[in-house]
Structures are given as C-alpha cells and as structure tokens.
Chain A
C-alpha cells in the first residue's frame, strides 16, 4: 500500500512548512509540497496549511493568501470533503476563505506570545482529532500576535451548540471568545487551530510535549482506513 499523501502548502512568507512536513513524515505519511502559485493539489489525500506570515500579513492576516491560485483548487475540494488542517496563519487563511466562520484578531495583550499552552480537546470526532480521548488535556506551543478568536454571538452559539469547538485554551492567552483555540466546519473535515501541533512531535526538539503527534496520527488513521 502506498503511503497516505498529505500536502503541505507554501505561500510566500510561510514559515512552518518544513516543520509540518517533518511531522507528517514522522507518523509515516508522505509530505507533498504544494506551491501557492500552482493550480494543482497533486492528488493529495489531505492538506496542511502551516503557520507563518504569508504575504507579510499585509492588509490582514490571510487576506491575500485566500486569493492564491492554489486556493481556487483547495476551497472547492475542502467543501467536497478533503481533510484540511490550518494552524495559526493557516487558521487565519481558512477564516478568510470562509471555510471556517469568524476571525482571528490582535491578542488582548497587544503582544505576540510564544509559550507552551495547556489545552483541552473538546471534540475527537473530526478528521484531525480522532486519536485523542474526549476532554483530553494536552500541551502545545502557541506563537502568534493575532490569535484572538471572535465571531458574532449567533455564530458562537451555533459553534457551541453543534460541538464545533475542537480545542479550548486552559488559561486564555489572547482573549479568545469562550477560550476557543480551534474549530471545525460542519462536516468535521476542515479544522483550524491557533496552537502548533507540528512543534510538539519529538522529545528532543520543540515544546516539552509530543501531544502534537496525535493530530497527524488521526489523519493517517482516517486515510488508511478510508
């Protein structure tokens, strides 16, 4: 059986693409580089939108990336069920592309913050979180200046009612509404996260936790079983 293929997207200014590719590789899947300017998803089975400062975060985080040629392919594919995980800037891009509701705004502290953040996995039935126990407490790094999740009261109520809050902060680092650190779409195939699972996959480097691996093993499990 050929390995599951996970696309890792690089926009100009993407920073965590190599990290994501390493993490994909660590769980035994194949990382396929995807280039922002190509109209080509290369037939991948899932897509990881990594963090960074795509297009320098000019105008608004993720606002320019959503118009990249690759996104013309990715948006319909995601709507049709392709598993997509966006972390940090990737989450911001998913919101700008309207694959996820709401927006990420400036941290309440007005400072960029990099720290090892305790989190709780609220939903383990998405494509990217099935390896977690329900309510499992984990630690992942966060590193962002604009990670404060906001949405209209109706949207928040809808997300909460439908169980679409995937991960919540334990100790809110940025002023996010309802401590929201990550959400999913209705179908559960598209997930956006502010924390960085790709920096918590090895004992030797990164955060003092390997909890991030379970996001990658979740998608691998889904793809292998599909």
Chain B
C-alpha cells in the first residue's frame, strides 16, 4: 500500500487529518497548512505533531526560559550554551566538561524499569553527541510516600532500571537524590544526569552542512516502541492496518549503547563526522529536521532505507518511533568507507539514508513517492510559542500564613534526632546506591553519600596532556520549599547544589536544571513555573554560574492534583588539584569541629515540621546568595591550602542530621557545645551553612580566612570517641546512629 504522498495531498485538500488525536490544536494545524500551502501528508503531520509537542518545542516554557540567557552572568568558562544537546564548560588545561539533566518521569511511572533505564540511555546519548566520552551519571529521584503500595512497585523498578542500564554502560553512578513525598504518588520523578569529558577543540555540534554530504543512521534498528500518536495516525489513515496496541514506553539495550559510545569516540578520533545528533524524543523526525535546520538547510531522505525491526512499520511510524540506541551523523562522501569500517569493528549497523542539500527543503521519499517536503526550520525552531496565563494559587497566602510557630517544640531532642535520622528522606540510601557501580573507569574520587560526586580528569583520551584537575557534581531540589515559595525554592535548590560542590573544595562553574511541574494549562501551576524560573535565573546571575541547558517536564499531575513544584538543579565545579578534595564528614579523631554560617529560627518546609508534625506551611529558609558565595569562597580556598580534613553541607534536618552523618562517614564520634536554643541550633534549616573538621594547628589560619570573607565561624568542639555528644542536650553512640540510619529502607523495600 502506498503512503500518503505530497501529490495525493495536493489532490485531496479537504481530506480530514487526525491532528487532534496527535495532540495538535486546530490553530496549530492551520499554521502547518499555511506553511505548506496545502494540507500536510500523514508523514508531515507526524513530524509537526511531535516537533511541536510540549516536550520537543518548549512552547509553554520558552518565554520564561529566555531569562536564563538574558540574565546569564558573564562566564569565561562557557563554551557552548543552551540550545545544543548539552552545554559545554571549559575546565582548564585544554579540557572541557559537558553535562545535562533530563527527565523521564512519565515512562517511569508506566513501566519503572524500562522508563528509568531509557532515561539514562537518552541523556548519555546527548552527552555523546557533543563529542564527549560520557564519564559518570547521577539520578535525582522522587517517589510517593515511602510506605505507599505503589512506591513499592515503582521504586525497585526504577532503581533496577538505572542500575542495569548504567552498570552495563560502564558509567559510575556518583550521586543524586532519593526523596519521598505523598505528592509524587502517581507522578514519580526520574531525572537523569550525565557528564562527559572532551578536549576543548573537539566539540561536535548538531548540524548538517555541506551539500552532497551523506546522512548516516547508525545503531539499533527502528521498531514500533515508543510510538505514541503514530498508531493513531496510521490506523486513522489506513483502517485495515491497526497498530493501536504498540508499547508507548521504549525498551533499552544498554549493550548496544555501550558499543555506540566506543564506536562514536573512534569515529570522532578518526575525524570522519561533520555533524551528529542523537535520536531521542521524536526520533528520525527530530534528528532530520534539527540537523537540516542548523546546516545548509536541506536534506533528502529515503525512508525505505531505514533498517527496521518490524517490516510492517508505516513511514509515519518510522518518523515517530523512539527506538533507543540510535544516532544520526553527517559524513563527507570520501569518509564513508572509513566511517563504515569503524561501525563494523564495533558491530554497529550503519546505513546511508540520505544526503545534505542546499534546497532549504527536507524531502523524504517512500516507495519512490515524495511523502515529506517541508522547510525543516518550521518544524525544528518555529513551533508555536504560548504566553500561558498565570496567577498566584488561591491558597498561597493562607499556606504562607500557616507558619510552623504554632507547632509544639520537642522536649526530648535525642528522640527527635533519631526520629528524623530514621525517617525515609534522611535515612541511609545504601539500599538504592549499592545497586549502582560507582567504581568503574577508576576515576571516582568521591561518590554517594558524599555531598558531591568528584571525578579525576585523567587519561580519558589518547594524546591528552596529564592534568591534576577534577570535577565535582551535585544535584539538589526541595519541592516543599518550592511549594511555599517557588522563587526562593528554586534559589535554595541552586544554593544547595552550589554549596555541595564547594564543600568538596571545587569551585562551582555552571548549572543544568530539570524543571518538574504540573500542567502548564493550570494558571496556578504556571505561576509556580514562572516564579521558579525567575528565581533561578536571578540566583544564577548573583552567583555567577550560567545555566548551560536542561529540561522542562510538565503535566506531572493526576487529575487536578499537581506535584509540588520541583526544580532540580545540577551544579558542576572544578578543583585544580583533585588530590586536595575534601572528604565528607569526620575523618579522624582530635579535629576541631566548626559551624560556618548563621543559624536563624527557620522551620518552614523543614524535615522536622514534616516528619514530626506532617506540616507544610510558612516560608522556606531565606536564600542568602551573598552568604552562599562567601561560604563557597572560604571552602574552596581552605581546601586549596589544605586546611580542611573533612566537611559537610547543612541542609535537610539541619545541624543535628549533619553532625550525625559526619560521625557516620567513618564511624568517628564528636563532642560539641551549642550556646543558644539547642532546638533551633540543631534542627533549623537555615541555608548557607556548612560543618568543617580542621586540624587544631590549622584552626587559627582557617578562622582568619573566614573572618576575611565575613563568614561566621563557630567552634563547636572536637571529633573523637564513639558517640555524638551535644553537651547537656543529648548523647547517642555512633552504633545506635548507624542502626537507626540504615534500618529504614531495607525494612521498606526488602
């Protein structure tokens, strides 16, 4: 059966097309007709419907996201900014790092294992397509209540999917987050981050220049997986051929992806790639339109040449398939044989499916007939842009007025500490992280539960000069804070990730973000989104760290109940001499313990209010960005001078949890004294604070450094012994802390 051709479309201008079933609005469809001067063919409709979807076009978020560019701080480190597959940052000595975080939320709810696995696979291909070797992954995860039955279905599957895919790729998993909150039931968040390394002069871009150059599709063959709307299209247009029951979640093959990584790196080294793009959401549609739009402007593709796993696939389905582990490259004709030989060495199938042209048109054929003939930029870059209405949620003022002041303060602080330490959000996450390989590639300096993952930059590629440098990465986000104040919540997420990088001794350089929200069609959700973006953009400017890329995930809601607004922020930093990284926690006995930063009575959105009172109200802690910056300056400089033996960020659960975790890191106790109200001192979640362990003889120099940068530094006591002692307040043996901390997740998940 022949496909719906351009010729046929011209002859049947009034044939109804299933644009609504493909999620396209009437005015969007009218615009496609206007662009083409006729009705689109089925294949053209497939392309426009996926490229103009919220996921691919950012049509609801674009007007807000522009602030990341307009408010961007000046940064000499930024080599490639937003708009490419991932941002690239100069980390010195000729090296560059590329990193990005992306959501795979909805698939991970439907099919946790494959959803999460292909989330890892997708972000890794983004990093590969920049010309980099992927070197590590991290995951920021959110689940419903820890004891909810559906969490027991979703969490083990998600963890297993990440574990299986990431471990098979040989990428160390060096950090991330696991957070439980009832708001995520039915809408778990799976945000996967990947970081890669490359030489500064080896950046690859998604572009297809040079008429006559060949378009090569390589990697896995194309199957019917991940086709959302295409089956609608196919069955609506061709009634006798129903593919309605196709799986909507993609299925991953990490083995093929590992081969693709090694194959791509060899292709880059041989200099036989002009432009490259991974196939993610919207598959061939996205890769061809984006490559063509950024290149000479035109491309011809023979869709019959696409290798298929299922020979019955229609062209519309081939265009929309999200089959994993596929890449598209633009290759000079004289390099084709070298390109193919490298693919063959790695057992990676590769097929020339088209050619770059200078016609300004993307033309595709099927059985000799033209089925697509469009200006590629109209699909890739000129999608609809919406200025969605937004308004502050009706209950926001009441929520902010319901402060934690009314909550009863505890009398037994020992019991409070243990209750928090064993609560699912603060408990040890080893049940999850022990399923991830954190050692492969032999460059892991710090990994979870350290505040940030730290990697040595070393021997990644042949011929590169040795360097002492390292990179640090952390992701953070607090949906409870953001619910109370999305502007401040986004800033606090950035501040925490920034601080987590700095406590290892690395200087924060750049930002990636994954913005997880409810429906943009709900003005109250849109307000949360607009506020969060504004807050994040402002904070990035103040802290001098540009956003390099990221991802927006809308529609995280069931019925009218949206998740807490959850901006997850990743920060990448660099440390000049990685041997000077500061380990997490108390690393030995007899060290001076100091608290850096100011503690205020701040319990809005705190873990104490959450765990003990089930309360969410008031305002989150103040985001004091100048204080964050000063603190980071002190931490980085102190690490450089070798003054710190250990450090730890203060965040959820305040000083009490930070002290307990610092003791648990190496099983070293501590005795400390608090001057003011011990409850506030121990459990307030004021930002811009860190705990440090300093050799006694270095303390004077360290205190002077703090004074120089106006960072408050309070000596609390000394490390040592086998208990955490807060003089006159509480004493808990480290063994008891450990038992409480480690028992929770195994008891919940087996």
CB < 8 Å: which of B253, B433, B434, B441 contacts A56? B253
CB < 8 Å: which of A16, A58, A206 contacts B255? A58
Q: Least Cβ distance of A112 to chain B in Å?
A: 5
Q: Mark B243-267, 1 if CB is under 8 A from A, else 0.
A: 0000000000111101100000000
**Chain B CB within 8 A of A143 CB:** yes
**Chain B CB within 8 A of A198 CB:** yes
**Chain B CB within 8 A of A52 CB:** yes
**In the complex, are the beta carbons of B259 and A19 less than 8 A apart?**
no
Q: Chain B residues near A58 (CB, 8 Å)?
A: 255
Q: Say whether, besides A56-B255, A114-B436, A204-B579, A143 and B442 are in contact (CB < 8 Å).
A: no
Choose, from B71-79, B163-171, B204-212, B481-489, the stretch at the interface: B163-171
CB < 8 Å: which of A12, A19, A57, A141 contacts B347? A12
Q: Mark A11-32, 1 if CB is under 8 A from B, else 0.
A: 0110110110011000000000
| Complex Cα–Cα for A171 and B227 (A) | 47
**Chain A CB within 8 A of B435 CB:** yes
| Complex Cα–Cα for A53 and B253 (A) | 12
Q: Chain B residues near A1 (CB, 8 Å)?
A: none
**Chain A CB within 8 A of B695 CB:** no
| Complex Cα–Cα for A210 and B435 (A) | 23
**Chain B CB within 8 A of A80 CB:** no
Q: Mark A166-203, 1 if CB is under 8 A from B, else 0.
A: 00000000000000000000000000000010110110
| Complex Cα–Cα for A199 and B442 (A) | 6
**In the complex, are the beta carbons of B442 and A113 less than 8 A apart?**
no
| Complex Cα–Cα for A201 and B167 (A) | 21
**Chain B CB within 8 A of A153 CB:** no
Q: Say whether, besides A53-B255, A111-B435, A112-B164, A18 and B442 are in contact (CB < 8 Å).
A: yes
**Chain A CB within 8 A of B346 CB:** yes
**Chain A CB within 8 A of B740 CB:** no
CB < 8 Å: which of B168, B347, B579 contacts A53? B168
Q: Chain A residues near B256 (CB, 8 Å)?
A: 56
| Complex Cα–Cα for A19 and B434 (A) | 20
**In the complex, are the beta carbons of A114 and B444 less than 8 A apart?**
no
**In the complex, are the beta carbons of B441 and A18 less than 8 A apart?**
yes
**Chain A CB within 8 A of B622 CB:** no
Q: Least Cβ distance of A210 to chain B in Å?
A: 12
**In the complex, are the beta carbons of A16 and B440 less than 8 A apart?**
yes
**Chain A CB within 8 A of B181 CB:** no
Q: Least Cβ distance of B160 to chain A in Å?
A: 8
**In the complex, are the beta carbons of B434 and A114 less than 8 A apart?**
yes
Q: Say whether, besides A115-B434, A206-B439, A12 and B167 are in contact (CB < 8 Å).
A: no
| Complex Cα–Cα for A22 and B347 (A) | 26
Within 8 A of A (CB), among B114-173: 160, 163-164, 167-170
**Chain A CB within 8 A of B438 CB:** yes
**In the complex, are the beta carbons of A206 and B254 less than 8 A apart?**
no
| Complex Cα–Cα for A201 and B164 (A) | 26
Q: Chain A residues near B680 (CB, 8 Å)?
A: none
| Complex Cα–Cα for A112 and B346 (A) | 27
Q: Chain B residues near A16 (CB, 8 Å)?
A: 170, 440
**In the complex, are the beta carbons of B459 and A22 less than 8 A apart?**
yes
| Complex Cα–Cα for A13 and B444 (A) | 20
Closest to B749 in A: A111
CB < 8 Å: which of A19, A56, A112 contacts B440? A19
Q: Mark A195-226, 1 if CB is under 8 A from B, else 0.
A: 01011011011110000000000000000000
**Chain A CB within 8 A of B96 CB:** no
Q: Least Cβ distance of B554 to chain A in Å?
A: 33
| Complex Cα–Cα for A19 and B346 (A) | 20
**In the complex, are the beta carbons of B259 and A112 less than 8 A apart?**
no
Q: Say whether, besides A12-B346, A15-B170, A205 and B438 are in contact (CB < 8 Å).
A: no
Q: Least Cβ distance of A198 to chain B in Å?
A: 7
Q: Say whether, besides A53-B254, A143-B167, A202 and B442 are in contact (CB < 8 Å).
A: yes
**In the complex, are the beta carbons of A114 and B435 less than 8 A apart?**
yes
**In the complex, are the beta carbons of B579 and A114 less than 8 A apart?**
no
Within 8 A of A (CB), among B658-690: none
Q: Least Cβ distance of B145 to chain A in Å?
A: 22
Q: Mark A46-78, 1 if CB is under 8 A from B, else 0.
A: 000000110111100000000000000000000
**Chain A CB within 8 A of B619 CB:** no
**Chain A CB within 8 A of B456 CB:** yes
Q: Say whether, besides A114-B435, A205-B445, A13 and B168 are in contact (CB < 8 Å).
A: yes
Number of residues of chain A lying within 8 A (CB) of chain B: 31
**In the complex, are the beta carbons of A52 and B170 less than 8 A apart?**
yes
**In the complex, are the beta carbons of B163 and A198 less than 8 A apart?**
no
CB < 8 Å: which of B164, B435, B444 contacts A205? B444
Q: Mark B449-461, 1 if CB is under 8 A from A, else 0.
A: 0000000100100
**In the complex, are the beta carbons of B442 and A205 less than 8 A apart?**
yes
| Complex Cα–Cα for A204 and B438 (A) | 14
Q: Least Cβ distance of A213 to chain B in Å?
A: 13
| Complex Cα–Cα for A113 and B168 (A) | 13
| Complex Cα–Cα for A112 and B434 (A) | 8
**Chain A CB within 8 A of B437 CB:** yes
Closest to A20 in B: B442
Closest to A52 in B: B170
**Chain A CB within 8 A of B57 CB:** no
Q: Chain B residues near A23 (CB, 8 Å)?
A: 442
Q: Chain B residues near A56 (CB, 8 Å)?
A: 168, 253-256
| Complex Cα–Cα for A198 and B579 (A) | 20
Q: Chain A residues near B459 (CB, 8 Å)?
A: 18, 22
| Complex Cα–Cα for A201 and B439 (A) | 12
Q: Chain A residues near B442 (CB, 8 Å)?
A: 18-19, 22-23, 198-199, 201-202, 205-206
Q: Chain A residues near B167 (CB, 8 Å)?
A: 53, 112, 143, 145
| Complex Cα–Cα for A15 and B442 (A) | 11
Closest to A55 in B: B255
Q: Least Cβ distance of B400 to chain A in Å?
A: 43
**In the complex, are the beta carbons of B456 and A204 less than 8 A apart?**
yes
**In the complex, are the beta carbons of A204 and B170 less than 8 A apart?**
no
Q: Least Cβ distance of A173 to chain B in Å?
A: 10
**Chain A CB within 8 A of B578 CB:** yes
| Complex Cα–Cα for A23 and B347 (A) | 28
Q: Say whether, besides A12-B346, A55-B255, A205-B444, A199 and B164 are in contact (CB < 8 Å).
A: no
**Chain A CB within 8 A of B53 CB:** no
**In the complex, are the beta carbons of B456 and A207 less than 8 A apart?**
no
| Complex Cα–Cα for A112 and B456 (A) | 25
| Complex Cα–Cα for A111 and B433 (A) | 11
**In the complex, are the beta carbons of A12 and B579 less than 8 A apart?**
no
Q: Chain A residues near B441 (CB, 8 Å)?
A: 18-19
| Complex Cα–Cα for A207 and B438 (A) | 9
Q: Chain A residues near B164 (CB, 8 Å)?
A: 112
| Complex Cα–Cα for A57 and B169 (A) | 12
Within 8 A of B (CB), among A97-135: 111-115
**Chain A CB within 8 A of B237 CB:** no
**Chain A CB within 8 A of B542 CB:** no
Closest to A15 in B: B170
| Complex Cα–Cα for A106 and B515 (A) | 38
Q: Mark B169-204, 1 if CB is under 8 A from A, else 0.
A: 110000000000000000000000000000000000
Q: Least Cβ distance of A205 to chain B in Å?
A: 6
In this complex, the member of B169, B259, B437, B459 whose beta carbon has the largest number of chain A beta carbons within 10 angstroms is B437
| Complex Cα–Cα for A179 and B439 (A) | 23
Q: Which residues of B are in contact with A by a Cβ distance under 8 Å?
A: 160, 163-164, 167-170, 253-256, 258-259, 346-347, 433-445, 456, 459, 578-579
Question: 15 A-B contacts, Cβ less than 8 Å apart?
Answer: A12-B258, A18-B442, A18-B459, A53-B167, A53-B168, A53-B255, A55-B255, A112-B164, A113-B434, A114-B437, A114-B439, A143-B167, A204-B445, A205-B442, A205-B445
Q: Which residues of A are in contact with B by a Cβ distance under 8 Å?
A: 12-13, 15-16, 18-19, 22-23, 52-53, 55-58, 111-115, 141, 143, 145, 196, 198-199, 201-202, 204-207
Nearest first, the 4 closest Cβ-Cβ pairs linking A and B are: A56-B255, A15-B170, A19-B442, A199-B439
| 12 more CB-based (< 8 A) A-B contacts, given A15-B440, A205-B442, A206-B439 | A13-B168, A19-B442, A53-B258, A111-B160, A111-B434, A114-B434, A114-B436, A114-B438, A143-B437, A196-B439, A202-B442, A206-B444
